[in-house]
Chains A and B, each alone.
Chain A
C-alpha cells in the first residue's frame, strides 16, 4: 500500500505558507507542481476550493503558462531544442528519431511505461552546440540520431 498522504500534506503546507492568498495562485501552483510533478484536475480542484475561487480560473492560469504540466510526466525528461540555430541544424530530424525510438504517436509526449517524456523548447541558449538535447539535467550537444538512440538505449538498459 502506497500513501500519497505526504504529498497531500505538502499541498496543505504550501497553501498555508501562502496564507490561502488568491493573488499567490501562481507561486502556489509552481510549488505544488514540484511536489506532484504535474497538476492534476483533483489537485487543482482542491486548490480552488481552498482558495475560494472557481476552478475555471485556476485551470485558466495553469493552461496559460507553458511551465505548468497538466499531464503526468515520465521519469526521464528529454528536452529537444527547436530554436532557430537547432532548427537549422535539423532538430526536427532528431525529434522524429526520438519519437520513433520511443514509439510515441502524434500528440503523445509521454511513453506508456511512464519512463520518458519529450518536450520541445524554444531555445536553450547553447546555440554553438546545436542541435542540443537536454536529458533530465544533462546537456548533450551536436546530437545525431545515432547518439540519441544510444543514449536512450543506455537509459532503458540501466532501468
Chain B
C-alpha cells in the first residue's frame, strides 16, 4: 500500500520522490522554478515553487519532503500573487532589453513573466549598471541579467568541482562573481560553459563570433572555409523542429545552408577526428609498449586539458600530445589546404562550428599557433550557426541535402561518435583492436551514461584497463584514485561536459536529460549509416598521410598534428614576507602550496625571513605554488627553482648568490 497525499483536492500516491516538487510535477502540474535543477543540489532560493500546505502554511515545494496525508494546494490566489511579486521584483532589477538579448525566447524569466501574467512591474526599476564581463574568449557574463538562482555556482562546484563563481556579498547587494570580483579570465574557469547552459536568463552566454564570420564572408578578397563538429548534426535540428534519427540528412542540409551563405568549402571535423584516432592510437600503442607515461589521457576536450594544466600539473605528461580534431583541422586547413585548394594563404579564413565554448578558447591557445599566427580565425557554436541560418532567411527544414567537400569531408563512423562520451575510446579501440587482428566494430561496453565507466579487454597478451569519464568532478576523483594507486588504468577518456560534446554549452540549450541521450543516439545511428567504421580505413586520411605527413607518429605528423601543454597557475597572489630596502638583493620565493607546506616550507621561510643572516639583502615571498608538488619543498632563488629544499640548503644558496 503506497503513501498518499492530496494535491488540489486530488488524492495522489507517492513513493520515493525526494520532494514535493517532484510529486507535483508527476501530476503534470508545472510549478515554476529557477533554482531547481535535477542535476544539482536543492537550493530553495527562488521561492517560485511555493505551495500551500494545510496546517503549515506556505512552503517551497523543492525543499519539502512529501509526507503522508499532506494536503497541498498549488494555485491559490495568495500563491499566485506571491509568485507575481517575486517575478516583478526580479524584473525590477533586471536589464529588460529583451529584444536585444541572445536568450530572448529561451529565457526562463521572460517565459515565467508571460506565463504568470505579469502586466506591469509595480516596483521601482533599479538601474542595472553595465556590468558585462567579456574577458574570456568563451563566455560573456552580465550581472544585469542575473536572477541569483545560483545554478551556475552549483554546477561549477558540484558537477565540475571548480567553483570559479560564487555568491558575493549579501542581501540586496549580493551578486555572482569570480573570487575577489575579478573577471572570469583571472579565475579558475576552464571554459566548459555549462554555467551558460543552466543559466535561466541571459546572464551567462557563449561569446558570439558570428558577426566577424559574416564580415569575412562579405569580403570579396577572402575565401572562408568551415568545418562542422560531429555533435552539431545531433542537435541543430532541435532549433528547426527536425527530429531525425541519424543526423545524415541534417548534416547535408547544414552543408547546403553554409554553401548558400557563401562559404567556399564545407568540411567535416569528423575527418580530423579520424586522424586524431589514427595518431592517438599509434601514440597509445607506443606508450603501452614502453610503459611510458601511463595511463594515457585523451586530449580532445580543451576544458579537461585546461583542468589538468591548472590542477594536476604532474599529470600533464599523461595527456595525449595529439591535437584535438579542431586543432588538427586548424593546422591542416591553414598549412596544407591552401596548396590543395589553390587558395592563396592570405585570402584564407578558417572557421569551425563547435558544440562547445571551450573550443573558442582552444583555438587561441598559443601552443596551437605557428609563428604567432593562430590556425583558426573564428569558432562559432551550434547556437550561432542556427542564428546565422535564421539571419540568412533560409527555410532550413526545406533545404536539400548536399555532400561535404573533399578531402576533409570524408569520414568513418569512428570520427562521428567522437561527439559523445565513450566515442573517443570506442574509436580508439576500433583502431587498436584491429591492429591486433580483431575485426570488431562495435564496443558497446564503453557506451552509456554513468559518469565513470570502466572496461577491461585483452589486447594480445595484455589486459587493457579503460576508464571513460564525463564531468570534471568525476575526473578529479579518477585522478585522485590513480595518484593514490587505488586504481590502475591504461587509457582514460575524459570529457568535461556531462554526456560529452553532445551536451556541450554551445549546443541549443537543454534541461531535459532525454534530449542529451537522444543526441548520443543520433551519433551512434549516424555511425551505422557510414560505409566505413574504423578511422584507419578512411582513404582520404591515408592519402593525407601519404602526401603530406608520411605516417602516424612521424616527425611531420608531430609538427602538424601534435601540441604541448603547460602548467597554468591558479593563484597569482604572493604573500610578502620581507622586503629589503637595498638595491642589490636576492629574491627568494618559497612555495607554500599544501604539499610543500606539509614538507616544511615554513621552516625555510623562517630562516630566510631572518634578515640579519643576509645583511638585510633578501626579498622573501611566499607563493602558491611552484607546481613541483612531488619534489617539494620548492624554492625559487633569483629565478632559479630548487627542489627538495631544506633551510640549510636555501641559506647556502642565498649566501652564494649574495657573493655574486
A residues apposed to B, CB below 8 Å: 1-5, 8-9, 12, 41-46, 48-50, 52-60, 63-64
**A1-B578 contact, Cβ under 8 Å, with A56-B164, A56-B187:** yes
Given contacts A5-B609, A56-B163, contact A42 B574 (CB under 8 A): yes
Question: Residue of B at shortest CB range from A45?
Answer: B573
Interface of A is mostly: helix
Q: Which of B167-175, B246-254, B330-338, B409-417 contacts A (4 or more CB under 8 A)?
A: B167-175
Contact partners of B177 in chain A: CB under 8 A: 56
Distance in angstroms between the alpha carbons of A1 and B620 in the assembled complex: 11
Give Cα A43–Cα B594 distance, bound, in whole angstroms: 14
Q: A45-B624, A46-B575 are in contact. Are A1 and B580 (CB under 8 A)?
A: yes
Distance between Cα atoms of A43 and B605 in the complex (Å):
16
Sample (7) of A-B pairs whose CB atoms are under 8 Å apart? A1-B578, A3-B620, A5-B606, A8-B575, A54-B162, A56-B163, A56-B187
| A46 near B167: Cβ-Cβ < 8 Å | no
Contact of A64 among B164, B169, B616 (CB under 8 A): B169
- Check if A50 sits within 8 Å of B597, measured CB to CB: yes
Q: Chain A's nearest CB lies how many Å from the CB of B42?
A: 18
Q: Is B622 an interface residue (CB 8 A)?
A: yes
Contact A59 B157 (CB under 8 A): no
> Which residues on the A side are within 8 Å of B616 (C-beta)?
1
Contact at A49–B166, with CB atoms within 8 Å?
A: no
Minimal Cβ-Cβ distance residue in B for A58: B179
**CB-CB < 8 A to B622: which residues of A?**
8, 46
Enumerate chain B residues within 8 angstroms of A50, measured Cβ to Cβ.
594, 597
In Å, the complex CA distance between A126 and B141 comes to 46
* B residues in contact with A44, CB < 8 Å: 179-180
- A41 near B170 (CB under 8 angstroms)? no
Residue among A8, A12, A41, A50 with the highest chain B CB neighbour number at 10 A = A8
Which residues of B from 453 to 469 have beta carbons under 8 Å from A?
Answer: none
Per the 8 Å Cβ criterion, residues 230-282 of B in contact with A are: none
B625 within 8 A of A: yes
Instruction: Give the dominant DSSP class at B's interface.
Output: mixed
Contacts of B571 in A (CB 8 A): 45, 49, 55
- Contact A1–B581 (Cβ < 8 Å): yes
- Expressed in whole angstroms, the Cα–Cα distance for A55 and B592 within the complex equals 16
Known: A56-B178, A63-B168, A63-B169. A2 touches B187 (CB 8 A): no
B550 at interface, CB cutoff 8 A:
no
Known: A45-B571, A55-B179. A8 touches B168 (CB 8 A): no
B577 on the A face (CB < 8 A): yes
Please name all residues of chain B whose beta carbon is closer than 8 Å to the beta carbon of A59 when the two chains form the complex.
166, 168, 179-181
* Interface flag for B188 (CB, 8 Å): yes
Which residues on the B side are within 8 Å of A43 (C-beta)? Answer: 575
State the B residues within 8 Å of A (CB).
157, 162-170, 177-181, 187-188, 571, 573-581, 592-594, 597, 602, 605-606, 609-611, 616, 620, 622, 624-625
In the assembled complex, the Cα of A68 lies from the Cα of B580 at a distance in Å of: 30
A1-B579, A3-B609, A4-B575 in contact; A56/B179 too (CB < 8 A)? Answer: yes
Minimum distance in angstroms from B119 CB to a CB of chain A: 36
Query: What CA separation (Å) do A135 and B324 show in the bound complex?
Result: 63
CB-based contact A60/B167 at 8 Å: yes
Contact B163 A57 (CB under 8 A): yes
Residues of chain A within 8 A of B592, CB atoms compared: 46, 49
Given contacts A5-B578, A56-B187, is CB(A41)–CB(B180) below 8 Å?
yes
Q: How far is the CA of A1 from the CA of B606 in the complex (A)?
A: 14
Q: Is the CB of B577 within 8 A of A4?
A: yes
Question: Which chain A residue shows the least CB distance to B157?
Answer: A54
With contacts A52-B594, A64-B170 known, is A41 near B606, CB below 8 A? no
Known: A4-B576, A50-B594, A54-B166. 10 other contacts (CB 8 A): A2-B578, A3-B611, A5-B605, A9-B605, A12-B597, A12-B602, A49-B593, A52-B594, A55-B188, A59-B181
User: Would you call A53 and B163 a contact (CB within 8 A)?
Assistant: yes
Cα–Cα, bound, A55→B602 (Å): 22
C-alpha spacing A44/B180, complex, angstroms: 9
Look across to chain B and name the residue whose beta carbon is closest to the beta carbon of A52. Answer: B594
A49 and B578 contact, Cβ closer than 8 Å, known pairs A54-B164, A63-B170 = no
Which chain B residue lies CB-closest to A60?
A: B166
Distance in angstroms between the alpha carbons of A87 and B609 in the assembled complex: 49
Q: How far is the CB of A102 from chain B (nearest CB, A)?
A: 25
Chain A residues near B181: list those with CB within 8 A: 59
Q: Pick the 5 closest A-B CB pairs, nearest first.
A: A54-B163, A56-B166, A55-B179, A5-B609, A60-B166
Instruction: Contact check, B597 vs A8: say whether CB atoms are below 8 A apart.
Output: no
Give the Cβ gap from B40 to chain A, nearest Cβ, in Å: 16
CA of A57 to CA of B169, assembled, Å: 11
What's the Cα separation between A43 and B571 when bound, in Å? Answer: 11
Structural contact, A60 and B168, CB atoms closer than 8 A? yes
A58 to B181, CA, bound (A): 12
Chain A residues contacting B163 (CB-CB under 8 Å) are: 53-54, 56-57
User: Complex Cα distance A94/B225, Å?
Assistant: 69
Report chain B residues within 8 Å CB of A63. 168-170
CB distance from A56 to the nearest CB of B (A): 3
Which residues from chain A contact B574 at a C-beta distance below 8 Å?
42
CA distance A63 to B606 in the complex (A): 31
B517 to nearest A CB, angstroms? 31
| A138 CA to B379 CA, complexed, in Å | 63
Query: Which residue on chain A has the smallest CB distance to residue B175?
Result: A63
* Residues on the A chain within 8 Å of B168, using CB: 59-60, 63
Q: How far is the CB of B185 from chain A (nearest CB, A)?
A: 14
- Assembled-state Cα–Cα distance A82/B187 (Å): 38
Residues on B with C-beta less than 8 A from A52 are 594
A42–B177 alpha-carbon span in the complex (Å): 18
Bound-complex Cα distance A50 to B164 (A): 17
Residue of A nearest to B166 (CB): A56
A8 touches B605 (CB 8 A): yes
- Shortest A43–chain B CB gap in Å is 7
In the bound assembly, the distance between CA atoms of A2 and B619 in angstroms comes to 10
Question: With A4-B578, A46-B624 known to touch, is A9 a contact of B606 (CB < 8 Å)?
Answer: yes
Known: A54-B163, A56-B164, A57-B166. A49 touches B179 (CB 8 A): no
Min CB–CB distance B394 → chain A (angstroms): 42
Q: A59 vs B592: C-alpha distance in the bound complex, in angstroms?
A: 20
- Closest Cβ neighbor of A42 among chain B residues: B573
Chain A proximity of B146: nearest CB distance (Å)? 15
Partner among A9, A42, A45, A57 whose Cβ is within 8 Å of the Cβ of B602: A9
B577 CB to closest chain A CB (Å) equals: 5
